Amino acid sequence: MKNRWCCSRGCPVRRTKQLAAKWLAAMGLISGMLALPARAGDAPQWMRARVTTPLPRYDDKTNAVLLYSETTVNVQSADKLKRTVREVYKILRPAGRGYGYVVVPFNSHQKVNYLHGWCIPAQGKDFEIKDKDGVEAALPNVEGSELISDVKAKIIHIPAAEPGNIIGYEYEIDEQPMVLQETWRFQETAPVRESHYTLQLPAGWEYRTAWLNFPETKPATISNQSQWAVSEVKGLRLEDEMPPLSGVAGQMVVSFFPASGATINGFSNWQQMGSWYESLTRGRSDSSPEIKQKVIELTAGASSPTDKMKAIATFVQHDIRYVAIELGIGGWQPHPAPEVFTHRYGDCKDKATLMSAMLHELGVESYYVSINTERGAVTSATPAHLGFNHVILAIKLPESVTDSALIATLQDAKLGKILFFDPTNEFTPFGQIGGYLQSNYGLLVSPQGGELLELPKQAGTTNSIVRSGKLALDPSGKLTGSVSELRMGDRAAGERRALRNVAKNDDRIKPIESLLGASLSSFRITKATVMNLTRTDQPFGFDYTFEADNYAKSAGSLLLVRPRVLGSKARATLETKEPRVFPVEFEGPARDTDNFEIALPTGYEVDELPPPVDADYGFASYHAKTEVKGNVIAYQRTFEVKELSVPAAKADELKRFYRIIANDERNTVVLKPSAKQ
| Digit-coded pLDDT (tens) for 515-568 | 999 999 999 999 999 999 999 989 999 999 999 999 999 999 999 999 999 999
Residue 287 has pLDDT above 90, yes or no: yes
Percentage of the residues of the chain whose pLDDT score is greater than 90: 78
Backbone angles phi and psi of 18, in degrees to 5: -70, -30
Confidence label for 261 from pLDDT (cuts 50, 70 and 90)? confident
271-458, CATH topology level: C8orf32 fold (3.10.620)
The answer to whether the CB of 600 falls within 8 A of the CB of 473 is yes
Distances (CA, A) of 174 to 112, 177, 269, 442: 7, 9, 26, 31
Distances (CA, A) of 172 to 43, 73, 85, 254: 17, 10, 7, 20
pLDDT of residue 109: 87
pLDDT of residue 606: 96
Confidence label for 308 from pLDDT (cuts 50, 70 and 90)? very high
The answer to whether the CB of 137 falls within 8 A of the CB of 29 is yes
Confidence label for 232 from pLDDT (cuts 50, 70 and 90)? very high
When pLDDT is averaged across residues 365-383 and rounded to a whole number, the result is: 94
Average pLDDT, the chain: 90
| Digit-coded pLDDT (tens) for 153-211 | 899 999 889 999 999 999 999 999 989 999 999 999 999 999 999 999 999 999 999 99
When pLDDT is averaged across residues 623-647 and rounded to a whole number, the result is: 97
Q: CB neighbours (10 Å) of residue 254? A: 22
- β-bridge mates for residue 104, sequence order: 154
Instruction: Write the CB contacts of 56 (distance below 8 Å, at least 6 apart in sequence).
Output: none
pLDDT of residue 136: 85
CA angle centred on 500, ends 491 and 498, rounded to 5°: 45
Is the backbone of residue 353 left (phi > 0), alpha (psi -120 to 50) or beta?
A: alpha
When pLDDT is averaged across residues 232-254 and rounded to a whole number, the result is: 95
The domain 20-52+60-268 having CATH identifier 3.40.1410.10: the answer here is no
When pLDDT is averaged across residues 331-350 and rounded to a whole number, the result is: 93
- Strand ranges (E), 59-205: 64-77, 80-91, 101-106, 110-120, 127-129, 135-138, 146-149, 152-157, 166-175, 181-185, 192-200
Confidence label for 131 from pLDDT (cuts 50, 70 and 90)? confident
Domain boundaries, the chain: 20-52+60-268, 271-458, 461-673
pLDDT of residue 26: 52
| Digit-coded pLDDT (tens) for 11-46 | 333 334 544 555 555 555 555 554 555 567 789 999
Window from 43-52, 302-311, 329-338, 639-648 with minimum mean pLDDT: 329-338
CATH class of the domain comprising 461-673: mainly beta
When pLDDT is averaged across residues 115-122 and rounded to a whole number, the result is: 95
